[in-house]
Structure 1
Amino acid sequence: MGERGLRVIREFQSYYDDLNGVRRAIVQRIPFAPGERWLDIGTGDGWFALEIERMMAPSVVIGIDLARCEVELARQHARDSNSRFSAFVQMDAYRLGFPSGAFDGIGTFLALQDICLDLPSLHRLFEEANRVLKLGGWFALATTTPEDAETPSQKLALEIYQYIRAGFFTKAQIQAALEQMGFQVEHIEFYPTGVNLDPEEAQAFIRFECDWLERAYGWQNKPDWRAVWAHFEPRIRALGGLEVDAKVTFFLARKVRTHRPTGGV
């Protein structure tokens, strides 16, 4: 596994540089107000939550993730960053342990495909987000939308993600789900990240993605990274590499009504 490949995938500074400052650019587009409480769903390594804290300190940011190893990593990053107002807890995104209307805003960054595998689960996530968000609160969602892949290398990266574990949703599907769950989309914007892995780094990426399923979620039926690499290696080498998360689609939506589940009161 190449040293730079690992750095690109997991180390914040290199990955941040390769993302071309997209986290910070997105956070700067969110209309924060003093004293707000924000929730970061699928926080992963915690960098998006910490970026929100830097933008609107001293307000509170809580990051949640189902994977304990990710929560521990986020806590370490918070300590390294001298964070004072961010907290990270292990929690199921479909069963948020917060009262209704607990947050002024919710964010999620490149986590949607890890959390939701189909449209029903997408609706469940947005329904729970609606529940814990105050009326008029913001939902800032950054993800990858497959129709916006521009090059064969970007399209192949999405295909590999889907082959290993992930599903992706179109802009129309995301917007329709948001609106059905009580949100109004106010803004959609695209950000190029510039991430372009060479073949050796692409191999490291595939190995990490396959092994991460077991490490994070205990998935015993994870695909073998060697088999995945053998399947895709000829196409990756023919293209000279792999553009992973090369474009990020940002949705800024506002909660305009409380969604009542069927049969709810």
Structure 2
Amino acid sequence: MDIRSSIADTRKEFEKSFAVGDFYNRQTQDSEHLERILSFINVNKGMRILDLGTGSGYLSFPIAKNNPCCDVIGLDIVNSALEANRARAVAEGIKNLSFVSYDGIDFPFDANTFDLVVTRYALHHFPDIEHSIGEVSRVLKSGGMLFISDPCPNECDTERFVDDYMRLKKDGHIKFYTKDEWTAICRRQGLMVVDSFNSSIRFPKKKDTAYGYEEVLKKHDQTVIDSYNLVETDTELYLTEQVNNILFERHS
């Protein structure tokens, strides 16, 4: 895999997605899930918090608003989204929130900088997940926490239909990871599971971004496809995906 080309493809497609924000927001917003995350991550006064793959700032804005004594930074590769976020933060008078661009590989921060790193619906786009989680571990303080929220394959989906399906949109989707896979990846970087909960997302995809989906359906077992409750309309496809929500702690 050409890592930089994958990152460039992801950046390009998300620039397009953020330009038509209504559909993108409908894909990813879930107020009940958001509230559960905010209560789960246990933010304390004075924390430095990194929102990795911040996108539209879906996590970083409420975290910053709810915790004015914390310093919150949103990190992403999509410059247009970051510019819009900066303008919104100024308009809303949020002083403790900033946004930083990076190359998708190395984090532009010193070691032992953050008390908490959060990331939602982003890591399946990261082409070198071992390096990225290593970067998370590097910038976390000892005892710091990582919260990951990302969809996962169903247990019966051993051939990874869901990944083939998600790659139909050329936005740099790499892979959904199981909880066991996250546990192993993070353990190798000194991050140990503390707690977790499960949720789900009803994910719409426009048919015009899913060219060839009929061939993907033919390739995979119907029982597996049915497990995702796939529904087709004239213009969209809907899939129900399970979501891992996992909290890790960095050990020395």
TM-score range, shorter chain: 0.7 to 0.9
Aligned to 2:56: 45
Letter in 1 for 2:25: R
The 3-state SS of whatever aligns with 1:92 is: coil
User: Contact (CA 8 Å) 1:24, 1:51: kept in 2 or not?
Assistant: no
Letter in 2 for 1:190: N
Q: CA deviation at 1:79?
A: 3.6
Higher relative contact order (CA 8 A, sep 6+): 1
Structure (1/2) with the larger helix percentage: 1
User: Contact (CA 8 Å) 1:106, 1:129: kept in 2 or not?
Assistant: yes
1:54-113 residue CA offsets vs partner (Å, 9 max, x unmatched):
332221101111121221232234345432211001113431111110111111111001
Q: Give the distance between the partners of 1:25 and 1:75, measured in 2 at CA.
A: 25
Aligned to 2:166: 161
Letter in 2 for 1:243: Y
User: Contact (CA 8 Å) 2:164, 2:216: kept in 1 or not?
Assistant: no
The 3-state SS of whatever aligns with 2:22 is: helix
Structure 1 stretch displaced more, 104-113 or 48-57: 48-57
Q: Report the count of equivalent residues.
A: 217
User: Contact (CA 8 Å) 2:116, 2:146: kept in 1 or not?
Assistant: yes
Q: CA deviation at 1:252?
A: 0.3
The 3-state SS of whatever aligns with 2:98 is: strand
**Among 25, 28, 38, the residue aligned to 1:10:** 25
**Among 228, 232, 244, the residue aligned to 1:249:** 244
Aligned to 2:144: 137
Letter in 2 for 1:183: L
Q: Give the distance between the partners of 1:253 and 1:47, measured in 2 at CA.
A: 21
Aligned to 1:108: 119
Q: Which runs of 5+ in 1 are unaligned?
A: 208-224, 258-265
Q: Give the distance between the partners of 1:108 and 1:248, measured in 2 at CA.
A: 13
Q: Give the distance between the partners of 1:74 and 1:149, measured in 2 at CA.
A: 39
Q: Give the distance between the partners of 2:119 and 2:39, measured in 1 at CA.
A: 15
Q: CA deviation at 1:27?
A: 1.9
Structure 1 stretch displaced more, 236-245 or 125-134: 236-245
Aligned to 1:63: 74
Distance 1:245 1:122, change over 3 A: farther
Aligned to 1:227: 211
- Name the TM-score, length of structure 1 as normaliser: 0.70
**Among 78, 81, 87, the residue aligned to 1:76:** 87
**Among 116, 129, 139, the residue aligned to 1:122:** 129
Distance 1:177 1:56, change over 3 A: same
Distance 1:81 1:141, change over 3 A: farther
Distance 1:190 1:51, change over 3 A: same
The 3-state SS of whatever aligns with 2:132 is: helix
User: Contact (CA 8 Å) 2:153, 2:162: kept in 1 or not?
Assistant: no
Q: Give the distance between the partners of 2:38 and 2:23, measured in 1 at CA.
A: 21
Distance 1:148 1:33, change over 3 A: farther
Distance 1:87 1:34, change over 3 A: same
Q: CA deviation at 1:248?
A: 2.4
Aligned to 2:183: 175
Q: CA deviation at 1:157?
A: 5.9
Identity among equivalent positions (%) equals 20
Structure 1 stretch displaced more, 231-240 or 166-175: 231-240
Q: Give the distance between the partners of 2:96 and 2:238, measured in 1 at CA.
A: 34
Q: Which runs of 5+ in 2 are unaligned?
A: 1-19, 219-229
